[in-house]
Amino acid sequence: MTVQTSRHNRSLMEGLRSQLDIDRVGDEMYSLIAELYPICRSITGEGVRQTLRRLREDIPLEIREVPSGTRVFDWTVPKEWNIRDAFIKDSTGKRVVDFNASNLHVVSYSTPVRERLTLAELQGHLCSLPDRPDWIPYRTSYYDETWGFCLADAQRRTLEDGEYEVCIDASLEPGFLTYGELLIPGRRTEEVLISTHICHPSLCNDNLSGIAVCTHLAKTLAAASREYSYRFLFIPGTIGSITWLALNEDRLHLIRHGLVAVGLGDRGALTYKKSRRGDAEIDRVISHVLKSSGQPFQVVEFAPYGYDERQYCSPGINLPVGVLSRTPHGKYPEYHTSADGLDFVKQDALADSLLACLSVVDILDRNRIYLNTAPKGEPQLGRRGLYRATGGAADPGSLQMAMLWVLNLSDGRHSLLDIAERANLSFGPVREAAQILAAHDLLADATYGV
Amino acid sequence: MTVQTSRHNRSLMEGLRSQLDIDRVGDEMYSLIAELYPICRSITGEGVRQTLRRLREDIPLEIREVPSGTRVFDWTVPKEWNIRDAFIKDSTGKRVVDFNASNLHVVSYSTPVRERLTLAELQGHLCSLPDRPDWIPYRTSYYDETWGFCLADAQRRTLEDGEYEVCIDASLEPGFLTYGELLIPGRRTEEVLISTHICHPSLCNDNLSGIAVCTHLAKTLAAASREYSYRFLFIPGTIGSITWLALNEDRLHLIRHGLVAVGLGDRGALTYKKSRRGDAEIDRVISHVLKSSGQPFQVVEFAPYGYDERQYCSPGINLPVGVLSRTPHGKYPEYHTSADGLDFVKQDALADSLLACLSVVDILDRNRIYLNTAPKGEPQLGRRGLYRATGGAADPGSLQMAMLWVLNLSDGRHSLLDIAERANLSFGPVREAAQILAAHDLLADATYGV
Amino acid sequence: MTVQTSRHNRSLMEGLRSQLDIDRVGDEMYSLIAELYPICRSITGEGVRQTLRRLREDIPLEIREVPSGTRVFDWTVPKEWNIRDAFIKDSTGKRVVDFNASNLHVVSYSTPVRERLTLAELQGHLCSLPDRPDWIPYRTSYYDETWGFCLADAQRRTLEDGEYEVCIDASLEPGFLTYGELLIPGRRTEEVLISTHICHPSLCNDNLSGIAVCTHLAKTLAAASREYSYRFLFIPGTIGSITWLALNEDRLHLIRHGLVAVGLGDRGALTYKKSRRGDAEIDRVISHVLKSSGQPFQVVEFAPYGYDERQYCSPGINLPVGVLSRTPHGKYPEYHTSADGLDFVKQDALADSLLACLSVVDILDRNRIYLNTAPKGEPQLGRRGLYRATGGAADPGSLQMAMLWVLNLSDGRHSLLDIAERANLSFGPVREAAQILAAHDLLADATYGV
């Protein structure tokens, strides 16, 4: 299923500008997060399906199902996990830990259990954070069949000796791995890949913020004029990207640029982690956007630990895929705990993240390589009305400078982004200068060869 | 017309040293500036011819005339402009603005006019600098046919309501673009291009200082032994370099290095603006000279705004041409105003600029690539009397070090300049070491291949 | 003569670790220095032979003799110099300068002399250090036939007018240049060259420390498992390396890495001087070792002044040979004076230097290029027991990170050293991670092509 592109002749940026009420969109993203928050997601199961069905109300996502047992590269699609209820009851029959209070209480992919244990026996199945005594940690055991509960350390310390009844009413059976995919076609078949993971239960920054930003990015892009085709993936972490890569290996050559968008709702500064290549166009575009933003930011080198970029940037795949986040994963104490809740993400941070993504897409989509058609000496801009008539003043003005730079560097080896970086200008005026010059036939488009 | 080269066997540097009385030359350059100051130059016309005829008293310049209407790349040689008189008279018949007082008063290339206007009508034709109320600005309108006057803002504010008579007794008619050219042949046909513009009226730093330094540089070079041929251009800015390039396109491949020399008389530190290539030999040579000078200096990257380097470094020409100035154009308030007068340029600044140019030419002309003829182990310098006889002391001395560096790096891939930079030595001792080693047959000249 | 390698399957590092009692080895190196200290070495003669014979007690050195007059590149092997006695007697017949008190008193390679002179005549043959009045300088005159004495400036100033008798009972006659060579073969015929000079008389840091460290390095290596073959040279400075290079020119292509090891006993920080190539593997390995040491260190660029690297790095030889020292030659006042005595070198500095050499050899010998055999996506480490079972925690641990880095960069273009540098990890854990992964068939060795 794909979105029909509106073939009006507006540029992407004009399209984006005309429809974005950024405050409203911030609120909408936050509402979506709030709506998805209670659902118990994992790498498979009904929680994922329920989440994707909700996203289909906003964007025409295709929901794909891959059977358990399917070989995907070095991995195998796991059994499907579903959970209905879980609790720990004390000797009085009181639920001291209750899945209905927080789905973080159960270690994700816990095997079904119903038994009675002493506190000492129970302790081996409990996980808490002594230095964050009020927070429930988030833990998983996807590939090691066991069961466990997470709880606040403060509560754990109140547990008294005696017998406890534990119940995890879950199933771990052959089924499917579920993910969402959306292709928004552009004028070109080459693709920009945008990926976010959907496998975390009630955690907001990681990963509901990514889901919300990607959903609204897709919605905005679908309404704009596009050069590239844009492919969105809403996938479970690690096994999801491995599965998608394995099933789509013959089409990976179409991916020109890619982005893992996740952790985009906290108050921290935007952080870009470069692709494994380190000098891919996506790396340079995002660095340019962050530098031009006037806000604090961080650009870090690739490392093989993090989110799905680990798979997209594995040596046999090596796609130009980076990661855009705010505070990087693991660098904030709330990460993977119950403190990453609805209070932790902010409307304006979500809106700022979406705007950054749109700026990135805008440059990716509008970057061009031109050839100066009058390359010997400067062309006479004055007789075309492109140069101030009176000479002598010291400052030529910034659009004028952008025109001179574009003419000087449009030798077929510099893109507009190259020129913007070399001239220390933002992409916007450089693009504007190029459009004016092209309208006067002083530039010929050589983006795809001459 | 070319200068006959004196084929004595003195090196360039020896030739230069023997004849330079630098204080005297500083005075001579200043006198030349003072003599040329009153002439009303523009991009065409009698003022240019008069200037070039004066320079022919010092150097055997060829004066070239290119007819109006000649197509030169994207441009057309304009009509020739000449001016005899101009004034604004108030209602009492008094000349309140008089071309005879300063040729800056008339916007260059003003069309002839003789009419009466109210002050309000006149204001649209006036230009002044409110934040520099005592200075007359310099303005031009080469390609937009109009007329105008420049005056001090303090004076402008005294103009009273009433009728004014304006007169510009000028002609703008088919004629010629005039420029000066001088080729000083060397042992090689490959050329070093040295270009300065001659289109400014009574302004001293921009451009009389460049005219004076280039004239004396040519004079000094003509008397020295040379490898390269040196081509000097005294041209109107922009249209002059475009015209020369268009008429000489088939000979541009001979240009190995080039320099726009302008703005060389103010008290500021020397500034070098690199060629578009950024790593041309001229870029490295001038950086080396400035670094070795022990004085403050600045090296800046190429940008497509400035003087005639804009044309020499246009993408379809792309010659290795940089710019040597003192304070860069537009970075001093006196730029393009009447304050750039005879007080603004200084003898010792002119002399220092000429010396820098001579050092640049000296390295360009004497840079060589050698091959060590005994490259396996060090050659035994001791038995040739090139190594101190007694061993054991810690410091080998700088000429000794230069010899070791030259031997070590003379593998056919390093020029003497490369070696000087790698060894952190000045070019002089490196060249001296090479001459000694070559005299002992320990080096073979591989500059032009082996 | 070569050492038989023990072909047990221990890795080099294990071999080294198991036998090194570093305090004991520091003492042994110091004892060797003390034993060799009194011998009067020069670039030829009995002192060299006596030194090499002593080293043969520790390592199976081959002692080579090259006849005087042999042409070696641009040089000729000089006559052999031997000295039995030397003195200056005053008019009372008292030995005021006595070779038996210090062999530094005689300029090395002094011609035989026995005559009577006035003090004024004698002064021309004396050398002292006015700013270090108590130290005897070390001077040589290998290639200029003359004679001279060195003495403390304080003593020189006490010499009274009168007649002096000077005697240098030396011989300078056709003989041999003597050096020691040891090849410790490894599994590969490619060699690591380790060179130290043996031409200095009673000086400890320069050069007995190098002799001691190289002797113990050879001893340790001989007992370990090795990939490379290791060639040790104990040679007179300059003429020794030139001679060896000239006689072995057809085998130089086997040398993959090389090190001049000298000046390794003073208290200063370790200093590495890069090879002429500047980016050779030896340069990167030693920089990595010094950076990882946690101690102060210095890495300096190649310059053609110093020790035998001048010859190994001459342009027609250009081997990847660097220099490991503590304080560089000439940068400590005791250099080439009697103050470089037994008090100047320290056991712990010698031991630290030896450990650094062993770390260098360890990386050189164990560096590998691997291919990830499951390069599409990450391999599933969990089912191989190589990944913690419970997910969610932020920090993966350093061995885990090393595994991820090795997998990610093992694309056939990155060695383990490249990976360690890129990941900002020490070589050790990276190597350990690679061994674990290789044991699980996740890496294939591609060091020598695939």
**C-alpha span between B428 and C420 (Å, rounded):** 44
Distance CA C440, CA C260 (A): 39
CATH architecture of A369-445: Orthogonal Bundle (1.10)
A389 pLDDT higher than 70: no
pLDDT at residue C387, as a whole number: 84
**Which residues in chain A are contacts of C406 at CB distance < 8 A?**
none
- pLDDT above 70: residue C84: yes
Instruction: Quick: pLDDT tens for B64-111.
Output: 999 999 999 999 999 999 999 999 999 999 999 999 999 999 999 999
Q: Which of C177, C200, C181 is nearest to C71 (CA)?
A: C177
pLDDT recorded at residue B77: 98
Partner C contacted by B299 (CB < 8 A): no
Cβ contact B372–C242 (<8 Å): no
Percent helix, strand and coil across chain C, each to the nearest 5: 35, 25, 45
Residues B308-354 have pLDDT tens digits of 999 999 999 999 999 999 999 999 999 999 999 999 999 999 999 99
Using the Cβ of A336 and the Cβ atoms of chain C, whether some distance falls under 8 Å is answered with yes
For A194-203, A233-242, A391-400, which range has the lowest pLDDT when averaged over its residues? A391-400
pLDDT tens-place string over residues A114-134: 999 999 999 999 999 999 999
The residue-averaged pLDDT of C395-408 equals 90
pLDDT, tens digit, for every residue of A376-387?
999 999 999 998
| Lowest model confidence (mean pLDDT) among A16-30, B58-72, C13-27, C404-418 | C13-27
User: CB-CB: which of A372, A382, A395 is closest to B143?
Assistant: A382
pLDDT averaged over every residue in chain C: 94
Residues of C in contact with B441 (CB under 8 A): none
The verdict on a CB contact (< 8 Å) between A245 and C375 is no
Amino acid identity of C96? Answer: V
Cβ–Cβ contact A311 with C under 8 A: yes
Judge whether B85 is closer than 8 Å to chain A, CB to CB: no
Cβ–Cβ contact B6 with C under 8 A: no
Q: Would you call A313 and C396 a contact, using CB atoms and an 8 Å cutoff? A: no
How far is B18 from chain A, CA to nearest CA, in Å? 40
Tokens of A257: 């640029």
**Residue A287 φ/ψ, nearest 5 degrees:** -60, -40
B270-318 pLDDT, tens digit per residue, is 999 999 999 999 999 999 999 999 999 999 999 999 999 999 999 999 9
* Helical pair A22-36 and A210-222, crossing angle rounded to 10 deg: 130
Q: What does the pLDDT read at residue C448?
A: 80
Strands B191-197 and B255-261, sheet pairing: parallel
* CA atoms of A104 and A155, how far apart (whole Å): 14
Strand residue runs (E) in B329-430: 369-372, 411-415
In tens, the pLDDT along B123-157 reads 999 999 999 999 999 999 998 899 999 999 999 99
pLDDT per residue over C346-384, tens digit each? Answer: 999 999 999 999 999 999 999 999 999 999 999 999 999
Q: How far is CA B430 from CA B249, B399, B415, in A?
A: 37, 8, 10
Task: State the pLDDT at residue A134.
Answer: 98
Judge whether B361 is closer than 8 Å to chain C, CB to CB: no
Taking the Cβ of residue C391 and every Cβ of chain A, the question of whether any pair is shorter than 8 Å is answered with yes
What six digits make up the tokens of C75?
Answer: 């040089």
Q: What is the pLDDT of residues C297-327, one digit of tens each?
A: 999 999 999 999 999 999 999 999 999 999 9
- Return the closest-CA partner of residue C305 out of C260, C266, C268: C260
The pLDDT value recorded for residue A21 is: 84
Instruction: Tell me the nearest-neighbour CA distance from C408 into chain A, angstroms.
Output: 6
Which 338-357 residues of chain C touch chain A by CB within 8 A?
A: none
Question: Is the model's pLDDT at A10 over the cut of 80?
Answer: no
C-alpha C145/C-alpha C149 separation (Å) is 14
SS3 A71: strand
Of the candidates C139, C276, C304, which has its C-beta nearest B404's C-beta? C304
Q: What fold is seen in the domain A81-173?
A: Glucose Oxidase; domain 1 (3.50.30)
- Write down the domain spans for chain C: 7-77+176-366, 81-173, 369-445
Q: Give the pLDDT score at A450.
A: 54
In this prediction, residue B427 carries a pLDDT of: 95
Residues B137 and B336: their CA atoms lie apart, in Å, by 6
Which tens digits make up the pLDDT trace of C106-143?
A: 999 999 999 999 999 999 999 999 999 999 999 999 98
Cβ proximity of A372 and B242 under 8 Å? no
Contact (CB<8Å) B314/A377: yes
Q: Which residues of C touch A144 (CB under 8 A)?
A: 382, 389-390
Superfamily of domain C7-77+176-366: Zn peptidases (3.40.630.10)
Would the pLDDT of C338 be above 70? yes
Least confident range from A177-181, A201-205, A263-267, C19-23: namely C19-23
Contact call for A73 and C372, based on CB within 8 A: no
Instruction: Indicate the residue of C377, C382, C396 with minimum beta-carbon distance to A314.
Output: C377
Distance CA(B227)–CA(C279), nearest Å, equals: 36
Q: Does B73 touch chain A (CB under 8 A)?
A: yes
| C390 contacts on A by Cβ (under 8 Å) | 107, 127, 139-141, 144, 148
Residue contact C316–B376, C-beta within 8 A:
yes
Residue of C nearest to B384 (CA): C143
User: Are the beta carbons of A304 and C405 closer than 8 angstroms?
Assistant: yes
**Residue B377 is nearest to which of C140, C276, C311, comparing CB atoms?**
C311
Per-residue model confidence as pLDDT tens digits over B375-407? 999 999 999 999 876 677 666 788 899 999 999
Closest-CA residue of chain A to C395? A330
Distance between CA B117 and CA B121 in Å, rounded? 6
Report the phi/psi class of residue A73: left, alpha or beta, with left for phi > 0 and alpha for psi in -120 to 50: left
Q: Choose among C107, C245, C304: nearest Cβ to B405.
A: C304
Nearest by CB to A305, from C374, C383, C401: name it: C401
- The per-residue pLDDT for B4 is 30
Residue of B425, B393, B412 lying closest to B404 (CA atoms): B425
C240 vs C262: CA distance, rounded Å: 15
B250 touches chain A (CB under 8 A): no
Single-letter amino acid, residue A449: G
- Average pLDDT on B218-227 reads 95
- Provide the mean pLDDT of chain A: 94
Subunit partners of chain A (3 or more CB pairs within 8 A) = B, C
Q: For position A19, what pLDDT does the model report? A: 59
**% of chain C exceeding 90 in pLDDT:** 90
Q: Does B333 touch chain A (CB under 8 A)?
A: no
Chain C residues 365-384 within an 8 A CB cutoff of chain A: 372, 374-380, 382-383
Chain C residues in contact with A313 (beta carbon < 8 A): 408
Q: Do C376 and A140 touch (CB under 8 A)?
A: no
The answer to whether A60 faces chain B, any CB pair under 8 Å, is: no
Q: What is the mean predicted confidence (pLDDT) over C329-339?
A: 96
Using an 8 Å Cβ cutoff, are A316 and A7 in contact?
no
Find the helix packing angle between A347-366 and A22-36, rounded to 10°. Answer: 110
Per-residue pLDDT at B396:
73
* Closest alpha carbon to B150 in A330, C9, A390: A390
- pLDDT, residue C391, reads 72
Binned at pLDDT 50, 70 and 90, residue B23 comes out as confident
Classify each residue of A171-195 as buried b or exposed e, where b means 16 or more C-beta atoms within 10 Å of its C-beta: ebeebbbbbbbbebbbeeeebbbbb
Give the nearest partner residue to A377 out of B137, B141, B317, using CB atoms: B317
Please tell me which residue of chain C has the smallest CA distance to B379. Answer: C74
Contact A317 C376 (CB under 8 A): yes
Q: Which of A380, A393, A395 sits opposite B75 (nearest CB)?
A: A380
Provide, as residue numbers in chain A, all residues whose Cβ is less than 8 Å from the Cβ of B304. Answer: 378, 404-405, 407-408
SS3 B269: coil
Residue B18: predicted pLDDT = 53
Q: Is the pLDDT of residue A50 over 80?
A: yes
Average pLDDT over every residue of C381-396: 79
